Amino acid sequence: MDGIEVIRRMRTWTQLPVIVLSARHGSPDKVEALDAGADDYITKPFGLDELLARLRAVERRSWPVREAAAIKKGDLEIDLMAATVLRAGQRIRLTPREWRILQLLVENRGSLVSQQRILNEVWGPAYEKETHYLRIFVSQLRRKLEEDPAKPRHLVTEPGMGYRFEM
């Protein structure tokens, strides 16, 4: 599989930044990589200062603004940049997978996030049909975040489709 195909496949399950480092200088190669989903394209040889500047630029474009990343509703506070969750002022400990599910849902709050997208982004493409994993982890999240896990207000299920985060 060539690099362009890797980028295309990655874009089906993640929005992580991709910077291509290549010896190919031709404009068609650069255009193809960028159209496939790369965020930047650097040709060899390159200076370390240029690489670091491009990494900083991609990072600035990839992360939400801090104010938009912190949300509060009632006794629930979620700060995506600090990777913290507080309920009634108490810090809630989440596992890495619980955090990634919550982060994805909060980043898309109010919108339906399909089961397949969550599975792809949290576990990887090989787990696309393993919806039982997702049900277990969402149940754990509800126990930690919801006042009444049996009647969730924030982590809402759309049966057979996916989940939505409501604030």
The C-alpha atoms of residue 82 and residue 84 are separated, in whole angstroms, by 5
The last residue of one of the domains, among 62, 86, 105, is 62
The last residue of one of the domains, among 62, 82, 111, is 62
- Confidence (pLDDT) at 160: 85
- Shared domain check, 73 and 45: no
**For residues 59 and 17, is the Cβ–Cβ distance under 8 A?**
yes
CB atoms within 10 A of CB 6: 14
**For residues 133 and 119, is the Cβ–Cβ distance under 8 A?**
yes
The last residue of one of the domains, among 47, 62, 77, is 62
- Confidence (pLDDT) at 68: 55
- Shared domain check, 153 and 76: yes
Residues in the chain, pLDDT under 50: 65-67
**For residues 19 and 33, is the Cβ–Cβ distance under 8 A?**
no
Instruction: Name the residue range of residue 16's domain.
Output: 3-62
- Shared domain check, 143 and 87: yes
Residues 63-106: tens digit of each pLDDT: 554 445 688 888 899 988 888 999 999 999 999 999 999 999 99
The number of helix segments (H) and strand segments (E) in the chain equals 7, 9
CATH of the domain at 26: 3.40.50.2300
Q: Which two tokens stand for residue 104?
A: 């994805």
CATH of the domain at 150: 1.10.10.10
- Confidence (pLDDT) at 67: 44
Place of tokens 């500047």: 53
- Confidence (pLDDT) at 114: 92
Model-level pTM? Answer: 0.63
